[in-house]
Structure 1
Amino acid sequence: MDKKEERLNHILSTTIAILTEQGAEKLSMRMVAKRANISLSNLQYYYRDKNLLFIATVEFYFESCKKELTEAIKLLTEDSLPDKNTFLKKVLSMLLINSKSSHQTLMFQEIWTLASRNKELQHAVEAYYKTYCLWMINLVAKFCCKPEDIVSFLIPFVEGYTIVHNVIPSTKENVIAMMLKVISILDK
């Protein structure tokens, strides 16, 4: 990684930290610059305004989530190819986030809040999800006959789970078991 890429990653990681701690409303370019130990003009050299910083941060965040999941799945399949249920159970365990204080949950909420007020960011989020769906389809295709159907079911459920997990009357383990049953029906 070159110096510029390191600096950009540091800026974006700093922005993520501020978003999860204080929310988008309190975030300012000056705050990001100060926390990243760079001048405001240097930050503006890379991201001329807060909107561009948000878009880059969301793209960076989503890409890091995808890398994290890829690594976890690689570890799962390194020794031997698991059976369909073992694979899906592991993927669901990773995707179903169930902690209100979770960094991922807080970022998810901030991203959707920001995207609801910003068309450019909304387009960036939609582009990410299109790419994410294709990536998930390719991943699930190794284990399922109808990967498009499975991913069309999984993505909205997983995203919604991060919001309502603490009020539904079932445990994460029971939800995973139910989802595996539904997936087995969808995949016939």
Structure 2
Amino acid sequence: MNTAVRQPYAKGVRRTEEILSATREMLIHEGAEALTMRRVAAKLDMSLSNLQHYFTTKETLINALVDAQYEDYVAGLDERVEPGQTPEEQLGAFAQYISDDYQTDEGSILIWELWAFTGRNAYVADTVNKAHESERRIVRKIIGQISPNDSKSQLETKATVITSMFEGVGLFVAPGRPQAKSRKAVTEQLKAAAIAIARA
């Protein structure tokens, strides 16, 4: 009896994941402007009405994808900060994670395509802001260990500058970008700059 109850739920979860995966692939390979509910349905060989059973509108579909990416991103950030490391090592590991993440389609192209929705979709904009705040929260905590006498205002300012550098580096070192071949050297300089700001 329990199995009979779980099967429809499992099927629904699996179908939802397939829809999100198809949406993710379409954004990566075709861009935000090409994304429509009909095209997602066609990609999965399902009717539009069936797709709308899972996601009633394009906005709800995008919101669900943003939520999934946000959860993965924050989990990745937390995993990189290990208790046994010095604060400087934690900050360096954090910078390395950002640089590495930009080497994936999900960490670069997909994120940039999702950013395209922030001007028209308040939910997406809010979730992107939450992701950035999670990043600053971790950086603030690390800076606080490096410079324990800093005020809250100083910690926030330093964290904002450092996370801005972390996010901006992807524009240059992601695959196909101007400094992609120099990514290792750029990332090492990024680590050194972040540590210097934290200590200042």
Q: Aligned partners of 1:14, 1:175: CA distance in 2, in Å? A: 33
Taking structure 1 as the reference length, the TM-score comes to 0.75
The equivalent residue for 1:65 is 73
Q: Percent identity?
A: 21
1:25 aligns with 2:33: yes
1:103 aligns with 2:106: yes
CA gap 1:27/1:44 in 2 versus in 1, 3 angstroms: same
Query: 159-168 vs 102-111, which deviates more?
Result: 159-168
The equivalent residue for 1:184 is 195
SS of 2:85 mapped into structure 1: coil
SS of 1:116 mapped into structure 2: coil
- For structure 1, the residue ranges without an aligned partner over 5 or more in a row are none
Q: Aligned partners of 1:176, 1:104: CA distance in 2, in Å? A: 16
Does the 8 Å contact 1:97/1:105 carry over to 2? no
Counting only pairs closer than 5 Å after superposition, residues 1-188 of structure 1 correspond to structure 2 as 3=10, 4-71=12-79, 73=80, 77=82, 81-97=84-100, 102-138=105-141, 140=142, 144-145=146-147, 148-165=156-173, 166-168=177-179, 171-188=182-199
CA gap 1:39/1:132 in 2 versus in 1, 3 angstroms: farther
1:100 Cα deviation (Å)?
7.4
1:97 Cα deviation (Å)?
4.7
Q: Aligned partners of 1:14, 1:143: CA distance in 2, in Å? A: 42
Q: Quick one: which amino acid aligns to residue 144 of structure 1?
A: I
1:98 Cα deviation (Å)?
8.2
Taking structure 2 as the reference length, the TM-score comes to 0.72
CA gap 1:65/1:124 in 2 versus in 1, 3 angstroms: closer
1:20 Cα deviation (Å)?
0.3
Give aligned pairs, total.
182
Q: Aligned partners of 1:160, 1:39: CA distance in 2, in Å? A: 40
Tell me how large the CA RMSD over aligned residues is: 3.2
The equivalent residue for 2:3 is none
- For structure 2, the residue ranges without an aligned partner over 5 or more in a row are 1-5
1:122 Cα deviation (Å)?
2.2
